[in-house]
Every structure is written in structure tokens, then in C-alpha cells.
Structure 1
Amino acid sequence: MNQAIIEQKKQIIQEILEKIEKAQSVVLVDYRGLNVEEVSELRNKYREAGVEYKVYKNNMMKFAFKEAGLEAFNEYLKGPSAIAFSMEDAVSAAKVTSEFAKANDKLEIKAGIVDGDIIDVEGVKALASIPSREVLIAKVLGGLNAPISGFANVLQGNMRNLVYALNQIAEQKQA
């Protein structure tokens, strides 16, 4: 085999390996049956969510997953495979993939990886059901804000009572 081709393959394997290591999560899909429009729509949805989507040869992915210590993931690398790397949060790739698969039954979820653990189709769907990081932060902040606003309402009520009581005392003294 030509040395240039070998080097090119090594670079591809290294690229996949780096993405695996940097990703918060990974979702593997079978895109067979999707037309060009549907694939473009899927790519756009991934892009909007900050997810990298790429089609690699299964052999290249097998070498990368083996090198990453995830050789068991290779059992899912059969047939046409594309991979989505969620770099910003662990939920994005699973959420976009699951939502798209509901509308397009041709897209098949094969498996995923979260925190170095391999998850099956049900695991990817469960991951997709988790609210995004932004939603979770908003809920926590809303929960923290609720006691403060409740306290302010109580304080305001107590101040009103205090003012009323002081007015009553002042009126009694005048009389």
C-alpha cells in the first residue's frame, strides 16, 4: 500500500480519536434511506445545536474506538454509519437525533457513548429526554429565586403590619 494513503488513514483515525476524547457524548446512526434534503436538514439541526456530524468508514472508526479503549463499541459499526459528536453538552446529539428519528423513520439510532460508557438505543433516547443544560440552570435559578421572592412578600406584609400598628399608636396618642 502506498505510504501516502497509510498516512492519510492514520490522520483520519487520529481525527476521530480526538473527537471521541473531546466529546461530551457520541451518537452513532444508520442514515441509509435518507435523501439529500433530509441529510442536509439533519446536518443543519446538528450544526444549530453545536454538534459535529460526520460520515467515516467503519474500519477507520473501529481503529479509533479501539485506541480510545472502547473496542466494545465496534459491534455497532455494521452497515452505513455516521457519527454525531456533542462537544458542548452531553444531551444535544441525542436530543437532535431522537427528534429527527421520530419524524424520519429511515434514520436509525445504533448506540452512543456518554462519559466513556457505551449506551444502547434506549440509553440514547433516555439521554435525549434530559433537559438541556440551559433549562436545568434556569430551573435551579428559578428554584433559588422562589424563596427570595416569597421572603420579600412576607417582609412586605410585615412592613405593612408594622406601619399600620405605628399609625394606630400615633392616633391613640393624639386622641
Structure 2
Amino acid sequence: MDRSGKEKLVSELQESLNAANLVVVTHQNGLSVAEVSDLRRKMRAAGAGFKVAKNRLAKLALTGTKHEGLGEFLKGPTALAYSADPVAAAKVAVTFAKSNEKLSIVGGSMGTETLGADGIKALATLPSLDELRAKLVGMLQTPATRVAVVTAAPAGQLARVLGAYARKGEA
């Protein structure tokens, strides 16, 4: 790769990392092209990205971003998973690492906070941003549903009482 290609790669990676709230550093020893493609597809489906880059270029891309502390993790065959959702990249990476021993979690960064492998695995157990939003909407809708049922109950009871008197009068 020539110098201009490297500069373009670094600037694109830096753009992606600036937009990301979570970056996960992984070691990938011996992953086949099909396995990496499968991982990338799963990352895209979750709204995350996965990039294999030379450590030197990745360190250059990290400079000036809030994830600058990740330079210490960039040793060996590494790849970066990143997402705007603070949980998505961790979930996909940890799930994939459980099913494929060739991928291991090294560490990561959530905002300016640098996390170890255990921190990333703990993040993966949290619900995603969309799941949290769905739970919140469900919690907000439940009281409204209950209020509607309670206010409709007296009218229903009154109708049943009047119906009973009407049937009694006919008999």
C-alpha cells in the first residue's frame, strides 16, 4: 500500500473512531476470510463496524480521538470493533469469541474510559440501547393502560347491573 492509501485508511479509521462511543480491541489468530466476513456481517447488522489494520496505522488513527488510551492493547494480530451504541460492538465480539476460539477480547474503550477484557465482557451482558428504549416505552405505556381499564370498569359494571334489572323485569 502506498503512502496516500495509508493516509486515506488512517483518516477513514479516525473518522469512524471519532463517531464511536465504544471501541473493542480483539486478537484474531488464524481467522479465515469466511469467518471474518461472517463477523463483519454480524457487526453491520448490529450497527457496528470491524476493521483489521496494521497496529502502527491504528495507533495513528487513535491519536486525537477520545479512545487514545487503546494504544497499549495494539500488539500482535489485532482488529478493532467499534459502534456508536455503547453495547453493540461488545455484544457481537463477545458472542463471536465464545463460539470461535480464534478471536479473543483484549480490551477496549468506552468514551475516554479504558476497559480491560473483563470490562468489555461485562458490557456485553447489558441490554442494548434499543432494548432499553423498548423497556422504557413499555413502562410508560403500562400506567396509561391501567388507567384506561380502571376508568372503564365502573361504566361496565353499571351496564351489567342495568342489564340484570332489565332481564329480571322481563321475567
User: What residue identity is the alignment partner of 2:12?
Assistant: E
| 1:66 equivalenced with 2:63 (yes/no) | yes
User: What residue identity is the alignment partner of 1:105?
Assistant: E
User: 2:28–2:103: 8 Å Cα contact kept in structure 1?
Assistant: yes
Match of 1:93 in 2: 89
| 1:80 equivalenced with 2:77 (yes/no) | yes
Match of 1:50 in 2: 47
| Equivalent residue for 1:127, pick from 115, 123, 127 | 123
User: 2:27–2:76: 8 Å Cα contact kept in structure 1?
Assistant: yes
Identity level (%): 39
Give the Å deviation of 1:165: 6.6
Match of 1:173 in 2: none
User: What residue identity is the alignment partner of 1:154?
Assistant: V
Match of 2:156 in 1: 160
Give the total of aligned pairs. 167
TM-score, normalization by structure 1: 0.82
User: 2:43–2:50: 8 Å Cα contact kept in structure 1?
Assistant: yes
Which deviates more, 68-77 or 160-169?
160-169
Q: What's the CA shift string for 1:64-93, capped at 9, x where partnerless?
A: 223325443111000001111214x22111
The whole-number CA distance in structure 2 between the counterparts of 1:49 and 1:153 is 38
User: What residue identity is the alignment partner of 1:114?
Assistant: M
| 1:112 equivalenced with 2:108 (yes/no) | yes
User: What residue identity is the alignment partner of 1:117?
Assistant: E
Match of 2:147 in 1: 151
Q: What's the CA shift string for 1:15-47, capped at 9, x where partnerless?
A: 222111111211111111222332222122112
Residue aligned with 1:99, SS: helix
